[in-house]
Structure 1
Amino acid sequence: MTILVTGATGTVGRLLVEELLQTGQRVRALTRNAAKAGLPQEVEVVEGDLARPETLAAAFEGVTAAHLINFAGDDYQPLEQGDRIAEIAAQAGVRRVTVLGGRADGALEQALAGTDMEWTLLHPVEFMSNTLRWWTHSVRAEGVVKEPFGDRLSAMVHERDIAAVAATVLVEGGYGGRSLTLTGPQAVATTDKVRILSEAIGREIRFIELTEDEARAQWRMFGMGEETIEFLIEALGNTPEEGRTVAPTVEQVTGRAPRGFAQWAAEHAEAFQPVASA
């Protein structure tokens, strides 16, 4: 069968492509720019944009299972025509769908619920890979992490475990109509996260705990908008129970224990090493 992966050049999408290839699946990848996809040679790459459903018919042709994301574009805006995407998939004969979420269910999820397709919603908590986005520069340049809420707990999930769950569900099924919360093996405090990363890179990283106002000022300096800043203050300062509670889902679905942050840090240690002086 052919499995379509949307968001195929993203953090989870690339890993999902790898997971599917390893099990011998035929993979078709949707991307907005095929020339820059950089995917394995055996992957069929097609151009299209989830934000423009009129570009998707060819991508879904002959597909029996599909991995969808519920956002579009580099700014992760919610899909406005999710119902049309579900319609195109159903008309193409897609039988099984996973949807990578992260925000409240929108038009896509609601439309899928009204079809005969076997749909499964994937709701990961904080990605471990967010560490690259938020900490790489300051750790490399100064050996420091500056954040508020040092004692905040997060049951962060390894992005490869998200991909592994999606691959298993797409190939084997058995989770139709379910919403799966995906976490790592433990809830880790921000201060412990810094310590674990320090051990992985072999040098001390200082943690400076910011007040909320100091955090706002830092994020404004990074160019963040006020809405995003207030979202972060709320999300980090009042992490919902789901985001700090370990769920058994990864092991239940894949048969393997989820990867911990120490493993993630070891895998990405090189990204946090200081830049060599000229």
Structure 2
Amino acid sequence: MTIVITGATGPVGRATTQLLLEAGQEVTAISRTPERAALPAEARVARGDPSRPQSLGPVFDGAEAVLISPRAVGSAAPELLATAAAAGVRRVVVISAATVQYPAGEPRFAEEFRAAERAAQESGLAWTALRCTDFDANALAWAPQIRGGGVVRGAYPTAASSPIHHRDIAAVAVAALTGPGHAGRAHVLTGPQSLTQLDKVRTLAATLDVDLSFDEVPADRVRAAMLAQGLPEEIPARLLGSLADYARTPGPTTATVAELLDRPALTFAQWAIENAAAFRN
């Protein structure tokens, strides 16, 4: 079985590619710059831009399934899936967001994922949506501050969500891409524990065996600082909108990962141990 991966160089795409290869599946990973993709040698890396399906050539020939990353595909999901269906692809898995079902942040961002889900549902393929909470790996944004002095500065320290390890998302994606029982289902995938931003900082402090503190900064100052760094407006808008809502009402926590994988979901503490080097000088 050949499976096509969009967003193959992102954390979920990479992990999904690796797990599929370990399971004996053939993988075609789409990359705009294959020479820099740094994917496993066993994967076929096809040059193309999934947001421009006409650039992909015969990438779907002989493929059984496709993993859709809305960030990589953008508004081209209907066209891409029509191309896939015409080539004989039979199933699609969409990496979506929990905000589709549990609104938080600016509605425009949830609508991007909702549109990708809608494209999958209307494609004629057997579809599955993975509605994920924020990633454990988002904490890497704090690494420069932690390396530079042990103080994390940000807004909404009490904002609480259940962040998920990208390998858990990948493992569920593999199950949905290759196994039965997932067609027509939307899984809400979260980490096993609701954590505030303060909780995450404390976990990193314990992992690194250093003193860390969280210095609360007004949201408008955080936004201005991010824009001054050259980040696009979308980045602080996504971050601060969600945090503001999660400071009022915590995000969802589900047992879906454990139920689908028949093992406990990976914790933020496990992710912190795996990535401790990123926070050290």
TM-score normalised according to structure 1 size:
0.90
Indicate the percent of aligned positions where both proteins have the same amino acid: 37
Over the residues paired in the alignment, what is the CA RMSD in angstroms?
Answer: 2.0
The letter for the 2-side match of 1:99 is: V
How far apart, CA to CA, are the structure 1 residues paired with 2:135 and 2:227? 23
Q: Which moved more, 1:147-156 or 1:222-231?
A: 222-231
How far apart, CA to CA, are the structure 2 residues paired with 1:145 and 1:223? 20
Matching residue of 1:81 = 76
How far apart, CA to CA, are the structure 2 residues paired with 1:233 and 1:7? 24
Matching residue of 2:50 = 50
Match of 2:265 among 255, 258, 263: 258
Cα displacement (A) at 1:131: 0.8
Contact 1:82 1:109 in 2 (8 A): no
How far apart, CA to CA, are the structure 1 residues paired with 2:9 and 2:249? 28
How far apart, CA to CA, are the structure 2 residues paired with 1:218 and 1:45? 37
How far apart, CA to CA, are the structure 1 residues paired with 2:224 and 2:114? 32
Q: 1:50–1:241: structure 2 CA closer, same or farther, 3 Å change rule?
A: farther
Match of 2:139 among 131, 135, 148: 131
Residues 22-101 of structure 1: pairs in structure 2 closer than 5 A: 22-72=22-72, 79-101=74-96
Cα displacement (A) at 1:47: 0.9
Residues 167-178 of structure 1: pairs in structure 2 closer than 5 A: 167-178=174-185
How far apart, CA to CA, are the structure 2 residues paired with 1:6 and 1:55? 13
Match of 2:127 among 110, 119, 124: 119
How far apart, CA to CA, are the structure 2 residues paired with 1:150 and 1:241? 11
Q: 1:94–1:259: structure 2 CA closer, same or farther, 3 Å change rule?
A: same
Q: Which runs of 5+ in 2 are unaligned?
A: 98-109
Contact 2:94 2:129 in 1 (8 A): yes
Contact 2:160 2:247 in 1 (8 A): no
Cα displacement (A) at 1:242: 9.0
Q: Which moved more, 1:263-272 or 1:226-235?
A: 226-235
Q: Which runs of 5+ in 1 are unaligned?
A: 73-77
How far apart, CA to CA, are the structure 2 residues paired with 1:270 and 1:107? 38
The residue matched to 1:271 in structure 2 has which SS? helix
Matching residue of 1:75 = none
Cα displacement (A) at 1:239: 2.3
Q: 1:269–1:48: structure 2 CA closer, same or farther, 3 Å change rule?
A: same
Contact 2:159 2:247 in 1 (8 A): no
How far apart, CA to CA, are the structure 2 residues paired with 1:259 and 1:210? 30
Find out whether 1:162 has 2:162 as its counterpart.
Answer: no
Q: 1:106–1:233: structure 2 CA closer, same or farther, 3 Å change rule?
A: closer
Displacement over 4 Å in runs of 4+:
225-228, 240-243
Contact 1:83 1:107 in 2 (8 A): no
Cα displacement (A) at 1:187: 0.4
How far apart, CA to CA, are the structure 2 residues paired with 1:208 and 1:225? 24
The residue matched to 2:136 in structure 1 has which SS? coil
Count how many residue pairs are aligned between Structure 1 and Structure 2: 268
How far apart, CA to CA, are the structure 2 residues paired with 1:240 and 1:67? 32
Q: Which moved more, 1:265-274 or 1:56-65?
A: 56-65
